[in-house]
Structure 1
Amino acid sequence: MKILDKYLLKTFLITFATVFVILFFIFILQTIWLFIAELAGKDLDIGLIIKFLLFSMPRIIPLVLPLSILLASIMTFGNLAENYEFAAMKSSGISLQRAMRSLTLFIVVLSIVAFFFANNVIPFAEYKFINFRKNIAQLKPAMAITEGQFSDVGFYNIKVNKKSGENGNKLDGITIHKKAVNSDGSKTVIKAKNGELISSEQSSILQLVLNNGNYYEDITPKNYNDRKKFPFAKSSFKKYTINIDLSQLNNTDVDEEKVTNSNNMLTVNELNYTIDSLNNNYKTEIDSYSENINLRTIIENKTFNEVADKELIKKRKPLPSDILSLFDKNKKSEILKTASNNLSSIGYSIDGSSTNLKAKQKNINGHLLALYDKFVIAYACFMMFFIGAPLGAIIRKGGLGLPIIFAVLIFITFHFINTFGKRFAQENGITPFLGAWMSSIVLTPLAILLTYRATNDIGLINMDVILAPIQKLIQKITANKKKIADNGHR
């Protein structure tokens, strides 16, 4: 490797490492902010919090890596151009492509590493992250309950005055509101002097054992007048056990979509297998429903068939266009009523099946987007380098001023188009392939254009095209004024 390649690679790597660490730290702070409700006031020790953040870190890489490459490229090549190092290279016969050769090779390797990271590390981290959150609730069940306020835990709202014990599983002053199935509000209230939370790593059931309390339940009489008396039932207990499904604790997730969907926890091979199974299931359901709805639309009225057969045998001619003319008024009314009911039933069935099929298609789209995302991140690294490096050479500014403005604007555009495309594809507005690759398709021409302009020493914007007509207009106006003034003096 020549001295120039070593120099450029060293300069870029130092800048890239610095930018990556700073951006990664910023995005980690964002993650803490997103999950602050799960971390704050839950009696978690520092070890569990660090482990929690470690499992959430890999999902940040697809955002940080392309932005770091973009910003580092602009800063590196901007510094070279600003300090006239590019001018010295060109005077020695070294073109921009030659200067970028070693860095291009490094970016290609980095893109391949990014793909394998997205395909292997991120799915594993997602799996560990989700299961770790569930295990926290099993190991420290008291984290789901905060002192002095009602905490939403499954089908119950629980408030305790004080928690004690090694894991905060000893509770004092317990008030529980059981959620109503309908929207009439809570009908059941349980109060107890103290209690204990019991859990096991082998079980997903959390037991809340209450001691010395009362059970209140509102009763809704059938007679409307009796409801004004607000009757209720009251019973006391020395010991009462409530079983809570720990899976309900994840329902308060601020990133629910990622927790409930398993597509982010699958590799490329697993996604291909899952997508194939989902597509086969989708097609089978469509075929099955088509056959079923076809059978339901066939008229199976015994009286109608008998009369029709008799008419055909008797007159030996095809049925008339108005088939109902074969029946009397009562039969006509019966047939029309049956047909109307069948149509209504089929309409409801179609609506229900349509909703079900849309949900299945949405699930397929989600898996396809997860598959394409693994390739998009690799290509995004490569594309961002060929946007940033030529742009830095053109604007000729290094440091943290103008490069940051350009990098943020480009990355926001990339991220916005990417998010919009995936959301639109998720709702089946466009194909998942186009939705996942939309941002890359839009920005690739920009990378080609910037590389071309930087190679040929053309500025970012050719100001002569804009200024030349304005200058001509100003000159023409000035000449006319001068001519008018000369005529006035005469």
Structure 2
Amino acid sequence: MFLLARYILREHIGPFFFALTLITSMLVLNFVLQAMRYIIGKGISLQVIFEYIVYNLAWIMVLVVPMSVLVATIMAFGRMSSDNEVTAIKAGGISFYGLIMPVLLASVVLAIALVEFNDKVLPIANHKARVLKKNIQNKRPTLSIEPGVFLEDLENFSMIVENKDELGSGIYGVTIVDKSQHSVWRTIVAEKGKIEIDESSEAMIVTLENGEIHEMNFRKMESYQTVHFAVHRVNIPVENLTLKKSDETFHNDREKNIGQLMGDVLRHQKERDRRLELAASALSDEPAMMAQLDKKFQVMANDFFLQSSIFEKINEWFVRINIRDTAAVIRPKAELPDDIRLLLRTILKDSIKADSNVAILKNSIGRAVKKDSLQIIGLNVLQDTSRTTKIMTSQQLASNLSSAANYQRMIDQLMVEVNKKYSIPMACIIFVLLGAPIGVKARRGNLGLAGGISLFFFIAYYFCLVLGEDYADRQLLNPFFAMWFPNLFLGMIGVVLTYQTASERTFGLHGIFFWIVDKLIYPIRRMFNRGKVVS
């Protein structure tokens, strides 16, 4: 049995590393082509470019390893099936479960190693890659001029061009605004020009041809000068002409290990619960106001799942409302809009009748909603404006609930990253359960067939993963379910296919799935055979 396990694993080693090299090369090439737009022309050394690629290899490897497992499994079992080795092994008394067990154990070891890689290596590599990318982009920022877009990174200067050469030296339809003198506004317009970089003086020299200089003195508004020129040079001071490596201490969610992420989660949970306690205490301190709020105030909070008894206690006082019933708009991460704050002050002073307050507030809120498309957290209009404390209490309640919702949103985003560090490595195990029965069914061990079948599952898996991450970040799905759904879905299919192959029977929906797989295999196999005959 040990010799058989070693033989099966040896059959997977070659296809695994071949697929790993091939897929990694394709993704690296695609990454390099995308990165060239902010690397070319900046005088970056090959060492820095190589360093940048190596740092980004970390996240590429996390995606490529599960892909390679699926390709290798289909290729290995497909070749063994085509040579009738699977049939011979079964005839020797070893079931299909025993046949895939060594590969499953190897995939478990690989998944554990990938989890450690995600926790220890990936965050550091992501951080270094982001910082290095920022440093590269900051070097010679003027070379990132885009036609039709104002360049505002220049001190005391702004520039826009209609077109430029591919190499970035020639520019056409140039407009430069010189703001170096506070009392004089100078605008330079030219048909074309050329950019030169002087690293010794850290300046950008723009040589302009066939243009005009329009100058206006704000101290003497009646004086307006226009100067025509054939050739004019503008020296613009520019920083960061040489690559300067910074040591940035800030780490985003993808640059933290599991311990750091869970620490942030605990801190956000404490702050969320503290906000909910403040909201609950505001209600419990005044029983009369609780009844009053139940009738006259309704707060629509963001959707989130809170495992807190505090929220359950106050939830009965807060229900969803429509925009038309809204009396205050609160930005999740900002203060009240100025026009609504002014109207609230007017109400507190009792300078307007209550009936008119309702109409004015609703009209203002309607304009604010149409203008900013804000997320609404509203309060029903208080008809009786005699008690200022009630209004202030309602605003505090809305503010605390809004803060709690924001903390819950950050918790969900952190939990997405935590679950992702585990779910993607577990795909190695899932793909073994998928690849082994499909390879036996395909009875071919070539790369074209394995790659064609694997591509279908790659697209399905990573589409669900990306979509789930987006939905979880927007609090439309639970983070755990969003990150583990692709594994659960494909895992169930893999278990069914493995059971069918081991029991040598197909039925129901399982048979339909194998029929779909067969229809997918047949055209790929026919294309491969056609190419083989021609050669």
Which TM-score applies when normalising by structure 1? 0.65
Query: Is this contact kept in 1: 2:16–2:72, CA < 8 A?
Result: yes
CA distance in 2, matches of 1:443, 1:394: 17
Which letter maps to 1:277? R
Query: Is this contact kept in 1: 2:70–2:431, CA < 8 A?
Result: yes
Structure 1 counterpart of 2:353: 334
Q: 3-state SS of the aligned residue for 1:64?
A: helix
The answer to whether residue 63 in structure 2 is matched with residue 60 in structure 1 is no
Q: Which ranges of structure 1 fall in alignment gaps of 5 or more residues?
A: 163-167, 181-185, 200-205, 250-259, 299-330, 467-490
Structure 1 counterpart of 2:89: 89
Correspondences of 1:29-48 after superposition (within 5 Å): 29-48=29-48
Structure 2 counterpart of 1:20: 20
Query: Is this contact kept in 2: 1:77–1:393, CA < 8 A?
Result: yes
Q: 3-state SS of the aligned residue for 2:140?
A: helix
Deviations 1:300-352 (A, max 9, x none): xxxxxxxxxxxxxxxxxxxxxxxxxxxxxxx9963445676788899989469
CA distance in 1, matches of 2:436, 2:207: 72
The answer to whether residue 49 in structure 2 is matched with residue 49 in structure 1 is yes
Per the alignment, do residues 178 and 211 of structure 1 end up closer, same or farther by CA in structure 2, a change over 3 Å counting? closer
Deviations 1:236-261 (A, max 9, x none): x9997757699xx9xxxxxxxxxx98
Q: 3-state SS of the aligned residue for 2:353?
A: helix
Out of 261, 266, 275, the position equivalent to 1:271 is 261
Which letter maps to 1:424? Y
Structure 1 counterpart of 2:443: 396
Deviations 1:174-202 (A, max 9, x none): 9774699xxxxx99559999986679xxx
Which letter maps to 1:48? V
Query: Is this contact kept in 2: 1:174–1:193, CA < 8 A?
Result: no
Which letter maps to 2:485? M
Structure 2 counterpart of 1:476: none
Which TM-score applies when normalising by structure 2? 0.60
Per the alignment, do residues 369 and 198 of structure 1 end up closer, same or farther by CA in structure 2, a change over 3 Å counting? farther
Query: Is this contact kept in 1: 2:273–2:404, CA < 8 A?
Result: no
Correspondences of 1:423-462 after superposition (within 5 Å): 423-458=470-505, 462=511
Out of 445, 462, 465, the position equivalent to 1:415 is 462
| C-alpha deviation, 1:397, in angstroms | 2.1
Q: 3-state SS of the aligned residue for 2:446?
A: coil
Q: Considering fraction of residues, name the structure with more helix.
A: 1
CA distance in 2, matches of 1:193, 1:391: 60
Structure 1 counterpart of 2:413: 366
CA distance in 2, matches of 1:231, 1:355: 53
Structure 2 counterpart of 1:301: none
Q: 3-state SS of the aligned residue for 2:70?
A: helix
| C-alpha deviation, 1:144, in angstroms | 4.6
CA distance in 1, matches of 2:133, 2:70: 34
CA distance in 2, matches of 1:147, 1:240: 17
Structure 1 counterpart of 2:315: none
Deviations 1:389-416 (A, max 9, x none): 1221233222124322221111211111
Query: Is this contact kept in 2: 1:171–1:196, CA < 8 A?
Result: no
Which letter maps to 1:27? L
CA distance in 2, matches of 1:230, 1:441: 75
| C-alpha deviation, 1:430, in angstroms | 1.2
Q: 3-state SS of the aligned residue for 2:430?
A: helix
Deviations 1:282-304 (A, max 9, x none): 44456557878999x98xxxxxx
CA distance in 2, matches of 1:273, 1:366: 14
The answer to whether residue 421 in structure 2 is matched with residue 379 in structure 1 is no
The answer to whether residue 267 in structure 2 is matched with residue 280 in structure 1 is no
The answer to whether residue 105 in structure 2 is matched with residue 115 in structure 1 is no
Query: Is this contact kept in 2: 1:216–1:232, CA < 8 A?
Result: yes
CA distance in 2, matches of 1:287, 1:179: 55
Structure 2 counterpart of 1:142: 140
Per the alignment, do residues 193 and 179 of structure 1 end up closer, same or farther by CA in structure 2, a change over 3 Å counting? closer
Which letter maps to 2:470? R
CA distance in 2, matches of 1:427, 1:343: 28
Query: Is this contact kept in 1: 2:140–2:239, CA < 8 A?
Result: no
CA distance in 2, matches of 1:381, 1:175: 55
Deviations 1:366-391 (A, max 9, x none): 22111100000121111111111122
Per the alignment, do residues 158 and 207 of structure 1 end up closer, same or farther by CA in structure 2, a change over 3 Å counting? farther
Q: Which ranges of structure 2 fall in alignment gaps of 5 or more residues?
A: 180-184, 245-249, 290-349, 369-375, 379-397, 516-535
CA distance in 1, matches of 2:194, 2:20: 53
Structure 2 counterpart of 1:105: 105
Structure 2 counterpart of 1:482: none
Which letter maps to 2:489? V
Of the two, which has the highest radius of gyration? 1
Q: 3-state SS of the aligned residue for 1:5?
A: helix
Query: Is this contact kept in 2: 1:219–1:233, CA < 8 A?
Result: no
Deviations 1:209-228 (A, max 9, x none): 7799998667999xxxx9xx
Query: Is this contact kept in 2: 1:220–1:231, CA < 8 A?
Result: no
CA distance in 2, matches of 1:266, 1:176: 44
Per the alignment, do residues 145 and 14 of structure 1 end up closer, same or farther by CA in structure 2, a change over 3 Å counting? same
Identity of aligned residues (%): 20
